[in-house]
């Protein structure tokens, strides 16, 4: 029994193993056991979700599990029951709890204070780790590697950006350039942790608050919606602040081979031009499908006993998808 609440909960080997396994599920080359046979997965979403909720629900069923779904008004948390008490109760009846709270990570840590039920973070205010695992699965499927990729992320330094920074800096030679509006950058603790990992692996993390002097030559151009799920912005003129960070076809002038990624849902004409999202460079909808494959890898991981010093899976060039 293991938990996945932050990317930082994973060793380098575990991170690579989940990503490689997700790519195997995506490629249809995975031998699919039933690690959830006879087990019950609870999915609790206090905030809206299309992809993540469906991915974990479908993934659990495909791995032999059964489901119980909870909406935002279903748990006694709403009447004052403590997080820890809720976790103790659920852990006597569930094997896995996949939870989206859009609140602090500490809530999920509270649910994890027991030794029978795995807890998976389907998004908190600070981090969206299963999205990053989906994104890395998509990169491995498309390029056959993650090492050495050059990635531009433009938009808010939100929970998706945080998870990406913590995950991508684990891979040697990755160049991650994050461009965010002033006042909307990565949280300081996240940036510090990501830079520490980059220094260890030989990756590069650059963060600026403008769209000037982009060096180009990117393999990937990535954005997310400007209004993160479950949040609002106090500045009434925030859209004007974000406008220069829209992803437009002009960015492909210096990065003609780049693919476009988006965690969806997308707002055409805001964070991305319709010609980009629906154009030939976009792999955003394949990325969305990979959320299910990655969810299966996560569920398998948290319910599979750890093996002492198990080596990470080697890169498999056959996992790269032909464009």
| 170 is a domain residue | yes
CATH of the domain at 51: 3.40.50.1370
**Predicted pLDDT of residue 288:** 98
Mean predicted confidence (pLDDT) in 175-192: 96
Mean predicted confidence (pLDDT) in 194-202: 97
Of all residues in the chain, what percent carry a pLDDT higher than 70?
94
Is pLDDT at 30 greater than 90 in this prediction? no
Residues 139 and 53 in one domain: no
**Predicted pLDDT of residue 154:** 98
Mean predicted confidence (pLDDT) in 118-124: 97
| 11 is a domain residue | yes
226-267 confidence digits (pLDDT tens): 987 667 788 889 999 999 999 999 999 999 999 999 999 999
| 62 is a domain residue | yes
| 166 is a domain residue | yes
| 66 is a domain residue | yes
Residues 113 and 214 in one domain: no
Residues 239 and 178 in one domain: yes
Residues 114 and 175 in one domain: no
Mean predicted confidence (pLDDT) in 129-138: 98
> In which domain, by residue range, is 94 found?
7-127+292-308
DSSP-assigned letter for residue 315: P
Is pLDDT at 51 greater than 70 in this prediction? yes
| 314 is a domain residue | no
Residues 262 and 168 in one domain: yes
85-103 confidence digits (pLDDT tens): 989 999 999 999 999 998 8
**Predicted pLDDT of residue 29:** 87
| 230 is a domain residue | yes
Residues 173 and 162 in one domain: yes
Is pLDDT at 157 greater than 80 in this prediction? yes
Give the number of domains in the chain: 2
Q: Kindly calculate the radius of gyration of the chain based on its CA atoms and give it in whole angstroms.
A: 19
**Predicted pLDDT of residue 321:** 53
Residues 98 and 211 in one domain: no
Residues 172 and 106 in one domain: no
Residues 101 and 180 in one domain: no
**Predicted pLDDT of residue 319:** 58
In which band, very low, low, confident or very high, does the pLDDT at 313 lie, cut at 50, 70 and 90? very low
Q: How many residues does the chain have?
A: 323
Rounded-to-integer distance, Cα 72 and Cα 49, Å: 11
**Predicted pLDDT of residue 320:** 61
Tokens of 90: 């659920």
Rounded-to-integer distance, Cα 99 and Cα 271, Å: 27
Quick one: CA dihedral 32, 262, 127, 72, positive or negative? negative
Residues 154 and 67 in one domain: no
């Amino acid at each position: 029994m293991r938990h996945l609440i932050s990317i930082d909960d994973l060793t380098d080997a575990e991170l690579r193993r989940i990503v490689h396994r997700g790519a195997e599920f995506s490629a249809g080359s995975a031998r699919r056991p039933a690690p959830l046979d006879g087990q019950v997965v609870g999915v609790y979403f206090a905030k809206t979700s299309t992809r993540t909720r469906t991915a974990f629900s479908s993934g659990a069923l495909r791995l032999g599990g059964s489901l119980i779904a909870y909406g935002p008004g279903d748990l006694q948390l709403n009447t004052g029951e403590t997080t820890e008490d809720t976790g103790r109760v659920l852990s006597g009846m569930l094997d896995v709890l996949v939870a989206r709270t859009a609140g602090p990570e500490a809530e999920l840590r509270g649910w994890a204070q027991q030794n029978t039920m795995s807890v998976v973070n389907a998004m908190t205010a600070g981090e969206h780790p299963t999205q990053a695992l989906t994104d890395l699965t998509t990169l491995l499927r498309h390029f056959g590697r993650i090492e050495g990729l050059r990635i531009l992320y433009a938009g808010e330094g939100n929970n998706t950006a945080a998870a990406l920074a913590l995950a991508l800096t684990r891979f040697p030679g990755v160049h991650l350039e994050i461009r965010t509006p002033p006042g909307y950058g990565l949280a300081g603790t996240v940036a510090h942790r990501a830079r520490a990992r980059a220094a260890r692996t030989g990756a590069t993390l650059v963060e600026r608050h403008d769209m000037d002097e982009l060096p180009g030559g990117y393999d990937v151009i990535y954005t997310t919606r400007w209004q993160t799920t479950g949040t609002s912005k106090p500045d009434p003129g925030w859209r004007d602040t974000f406008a220069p960070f829209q992803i437009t076809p002009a960015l492909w002038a210096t990065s003609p081979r780049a693919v476009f990624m988006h965690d969806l849902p997308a707002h055409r004409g805001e964070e991305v031009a319709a010609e980009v999202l629906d154009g030939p460079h976009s792999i955003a909808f394949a990325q969305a499908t990979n959320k299910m494959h990655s969810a299966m890898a996560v569920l398998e991981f948290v319910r599979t006993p750890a093996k002492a010093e198990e080596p990470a899976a080697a890169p498999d060039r056959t996992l790269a998808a032909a464009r």
